[in-house]
């Protein structure tokens, strides 16, 4: 059994859906579970719906939602011939779930509403892709993943209940493979024990695919993307970026941790734990080998470069010259957690803590205000955080020339420089 994961870009147009369908048809060797995320930029559009609704603008929310609706209805109509009416009726049930809520007034947390609204993107995209498979006579079925993946109620960043989910996979999913060759389901979403929808964090569909790979003991997971392979740097920032044919789990988890947009950072653990190989391949050029990620240690790697712009350096100093260690550090970490913003780099000194964050203005302000009660807070914006793994003197020189470095950390493998 294999797991395939397709992201929003691979199904954003009817043409793309057809090529994705061709990939499925070309490769009927094993049973397959398909994890799909929302079409194109649907998740962003649904976020706007949630924001309007929560700010009390129900009318705007409904009209924004209408656009999402129309786009999916049009796509479905184009794709289905035989089964169109029944498929559309079912799709309208997904709309009703959201509209029913939009007609109310918000009384709960934003994060709760966010998840109830945004989860619709994956339900719609998978429903359309399923209908396409039916039209193409593929032996497929559709599963609402919220009946399988159980989470806690930490909305927008829900944690998996592995034991419950495992049991559901055993009793519900495995059974389906007696009848069907392909099981199609949603990435990114789950549900609580009270049947409230949850999401696993942005770009979480990779993680969903890894959960299924783990629980089904899959022979491999393939993540289909719009790049030919995992690159050593973002090709939009570095013209000389090159593809890397093979990488170890540990290399990839570090790359993702430092902010490389390879795959969702939580994806690796469930795969590594069962030694399941991960292929990253291009849905535009499926004949290319892509990248294989496995337990085999990477051979000599090129420098792997991650550059994050728009960084803020915050300094928290004690007001009375007491040490910033132990308890004060814990208090700061609580403040970061409440603001849902993790530092990208931390450095301790006797009476202060330096932290580098992505510049999310509201969150930075929240942190500054809360920490300001106990600490003197200063900050500098518009910095760049450069991380280079497997660095050498030449590449460091090339990438930091003429820059003023404000913070530098290095181990034998990884160098991080924060500069103006
Ligand atoms: N659709 C979700 C997002 O855009 C999840 C995903 O794509 O993995 O974040
Ligand atoms: Mg995506």
pLDDT of 284 strictly over 80: yes
How far is Cα 361 from Cα 312, in angstroms, rounded to an integer?
Answer: 10
Q: What's the length of the chain? A: 420
How far is Cα 138 from Cα 132, in angstroms, rounded to an integer?
Answer: 9
Nearest CA to ligand 1 atom 5: 203
Structure token digits, residue 150: 């159980």
The finding on whether 115 has its CB within 6 A of some atom of ligand 1 is no
pLDDT (tens digit per residue) in 59-105: 999 999 999 999 999 999 999 988 899 999 999 999 999 999 999 99
pLDDT (tens digit per residue) in 368-403: 999 999 999 999 999 999 999 999 999 999 999 999
Which comes out higher in pLDDT, residue 184 or 256? 184
Among residues 6, 40, 11, 7, the alpha carbon closest in space to that of 182 is found at 6
pLDDT band (50, 70, 90) for residue 2: very high
Q: For a substitution probing ligand 1, which of 7, 41, 123, 188 has the most ligand atoms within 8 Å of its CB?
A: 188
pLDDT of 411 strictly over 80: yes
Structure token digits, residue 45: 């559009």
How far is Cα 9 from Cα 203, in angstroms, rounded to an integer?
Answer: 12
pLDDT (tens digit per residue) in 7-21: 999 999 999 999 999
Distance from Cα 118 to the centre of ligand 1, integer Å: 10
* Averaged pLDDT for residues 204-228: 97
pLDDT of 29 strictly over 80: no
* Ligand (nearest to CA of 267): 1
pLDDT (tens digit per residue) in 240-269: 999 999 999 999 999 988 888 888 989 999
* Greatest C-alpha distance within the chain: 75
The finding on whether 203 has its CB within 6 A of some atom of ligand 1 is yes
In ligand 1, which atom is closest to the CA atom of 202? 9
In ligand 1, which atom is closest to the CA atom of 204? 8
Beta strands 291-294 and 345-348: pairing type?
Answer: unpaired
pLDDT (tens digit per residue) in 142-180: 999 999 999 999 999 999 999 999 999 999 999 999 999
Q: For a substitution probing ligand 1, which of 9, 157, 187 has the most ligand atoms within 8 Å of its CB?
A: 187
The finding on whether 190 has its CB within 6 A of some atom of ligand 1 is no
The per-residue pLDDT of the chain, averaged, comes to 95
Which secondary-structure segment (H or E) carries 21? helix 14-25
**pTM of this structure:** 0.92
The predicted pLDDT at position 60 comes to 96
The predicted pLDDT at position 149 comes to 98
pLDDT band (50, 70, 90) for residue 118: very high
How far is Cα 35 from Cα 224, in angstroms, rounded to an integer?
Answer: 11
* Averaged pLDDT for residues 362-367: 96
The predicted pLDDT at position 297 comes to 87
* Averaged pLDDT for residues 179-204: 97
| CB of 312 closer than 8 Å to CB of 381 | yes
**Long-range residue pairs from 47-52, CB within 8 A, at least 24 positions apart, any chain:** 47/114, 47/118, 49/98, 49/102, 49/117, 50/110, 50/113, 50/114, 50/117, 50/118
Nearest CA to ligand 1 atom 7: 203
The finding on whether 202 has its CB within 6 A of some atom of ligand 1 is yes
List, in sequence order, every beta strand (DSSP E) within 128-245.
Answer: 140-142, 182-186, 189-191, 197-199, 220-225
| CB of 115 closer than 8 Å to CB of 156 | yes
The finding on whether 199 has its CB within 6 A of some atom of ligand 1 is no
In ligand 1, which atom is closest to the CA atom of 208? 8
Nearest CA to ligand 1 atom 6: 203
Nearest CA to ligand 1 atom 2: 203
Domains recognised in the chain with CATH numbers = 2-226 (3.40.1160.10), 304-419 (3.30.2130.10)
Structure token digits, residue 70: 């129309």
* Averaged pLDDT for residues 281-299: 93
DSSP 392: -
* Averaged pLDDT for residues 337-350: 93
pLDDT band (50, 70, 90) for residue 199: very high
Residues 83-111: b if buried by 16+ CB within 10 A, e if exposed: eeeebbebbeebbeebeeebeeebeeeeb
- Please classify residue 180 by burial: count the beta carbons closer than 10 Å to its beta carbon, then call 0-12 exposed, 13-18 middle and 19+ buried: middle
The finding on whether 38 has its CB within 6 A of some atom of ligand 1 is yes
Helices and strands, number each (H, E), in the chain: 14, 16
pLDDT band (50, 70, 90) for residue 354: very high
């Amino acid at each position: 059994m294999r797991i395939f994961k397709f992201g929003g870009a691979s199904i954003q147009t009817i043409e793309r859906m057809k090529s994705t369908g061709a990939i499925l048809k070309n490769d009927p060797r094993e049973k397959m579970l398909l994890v799909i995320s929302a079409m194109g930029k649907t998740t962003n559009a649904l976020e706007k719906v949630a924001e309007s609704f929560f700010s009390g603008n129900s009318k705007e929310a409904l009209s924004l939602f209408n656009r999402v609706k129309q786009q999916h209805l049009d796509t479905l109509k184009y794709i289905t011939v035989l089964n169109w009416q029944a498929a559309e009726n079912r799709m309208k049930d997904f709309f009703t779930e959201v509209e029913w809520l939009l007609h109310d007034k918000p009384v709960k947390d934003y994060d709760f509403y966010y998840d109830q609204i945004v989860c619709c993107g994956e339900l719609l995209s998978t429903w359309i892709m399923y209908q396409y498979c039916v039209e193409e006579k593929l032996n497929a079925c559709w599963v609402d993943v919220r009946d399988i993946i159980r989470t806690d109620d930490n909305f927008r960043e829900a944690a998996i209940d592995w034991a419950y989910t495992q049991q559901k996979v055993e009793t519900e999913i495995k059974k389906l493979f007696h009848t069907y060759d392909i099981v199609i389901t949603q990435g990114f979403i789950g549900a609580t024990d009270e049947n409230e929808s949850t999401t696993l964090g942005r770009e979480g569909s990779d993680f969903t695919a890894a959960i299924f790979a783990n629980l089904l003991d899959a022979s491999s997971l393939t993540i289909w993307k719009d790049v030919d392979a995992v690159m050593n740097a973002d090709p939009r920032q570095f013209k000389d970026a090159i593809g890397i044919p093979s990488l170890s789990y540990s290399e990839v988890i570090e790359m993702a941790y430092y902010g490389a947009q390879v795959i969702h950072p939580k994806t690796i653990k469930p795969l590594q734990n069962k030694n399941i190989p991960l292929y990253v391949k291009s849905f535009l050029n499926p004949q290319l080998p892509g990248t294989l990620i496995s337990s085999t240690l990477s051979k000599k790697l090129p420098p792997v470069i991650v550059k994050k712009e728009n960084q803020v350096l915050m300094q928290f100093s004690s007001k009375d010259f007491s040490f910033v260690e132990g308890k004060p550090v814990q208090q700061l970490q609580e403040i970061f957690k409440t603001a849902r913003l993790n530092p990208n780099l931390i450095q301790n000194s006797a009476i202060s803590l330096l932290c580098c964050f992505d510049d999310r203005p509201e969150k930075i302000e929240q942190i500054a205000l809360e920490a300001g009660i106990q600490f003197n807070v200063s900050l500098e914006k518009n910095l760049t955080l450069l991380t280079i793994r497997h660095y050498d003197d030449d590449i460091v020189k090339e990438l930091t020339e003429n820059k003023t470095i404000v913070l530098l950390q290095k181990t034998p493998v990884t160098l991080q420089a924060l500069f103006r």
